[in-house]
Chain A
Amino acid sequence: AQTVTQSQPEMSVQEAETVTLSCTYDTSESDYYLFWYKQPPSRQMILVIRQEAYKQQNATENRFSVNFQKAAKSFSLKISDSQLGDAAMYFCASADSNYQLIWGAGTKLIIKP
Chain B
Amino acid sequence: EAQVTQNPRYLITVTGKKLTVTCSQNMNHEYMSWYRQDPGLGLRQIYYSMNVEVTDKGDVPEGYKVSRKEKRNFPLILESPSPNQTSLYFCASSSTITDIYNEQFFGPGTRLTVL
Instruction: Give the interface of A toward B (CB within 8 A).
Output: 4, 33, 42-47, 50, 52, 91, 93, 95, 99-101, 103-106
- Secondary structure type dominating chain B contacts: mixed
Whether a CB of chain A sits under 8 angstroms from the CB of B61 is no
Contact of A44 among B45, B100, B106 (CB under 8 A): B106
Contact A91 B100 (CB under 8 A): no
Contact of A95 among B40, B90, B101 (CB under 8 A): B101
Q: How far is the CB of B104 from chain A (nearest CB, A)?
A: 8
Q: How far is the CB of B10 from chain A (nearest CB, A)?
A: 11
- Known contacts A95-B100, A101-B100; can you find 9 more A-B pairs with CB under 8 A? A44-B107, A44-B108, A52-B101, A95-B101, A100-B58, A101-B104, A103-B42, A103-B43, A106-B42
Nearest chain-A residue to B9 (Cβ)?
A43
Contact of A33 among B40, B45, B101, B107 (CB under 8 A): B101
Q: Which residues of B sit under 8 angstroms from A99, Cβ to Cβ? A: 97-98, 100
Q: How far is the CB of A39 from chain B (nearest CB, A)?
A: 8
Contact B103 A4 (CB under 8 A): no
Q: Which residues of A sit under 8 angstroms from B40, Cβ to Cβ? A: 105
Q: How far is the CB of B81 from chain A (nearest CB, A)?
A: 21
Docked CA distance A43–B107 (Å): 9
CB within 8 Å of A: which B56-115 residues: 58-59, 88, 90, 92, 97-98, 100-104, 106-109
Q: How far is the CB of A26 from chain B (nearest CB, A)?
A: 15
Whether a CB of chain A sits under 8 angstroms from the CB of B29 is no
Whether a CB of chain A sits under 8 angstroms from the CB of B2 is no
Docked CA distance A44–B6 (Å): 11
Q: How far is the CB of B94 from chain A (nearest CB, A)?
A: 10
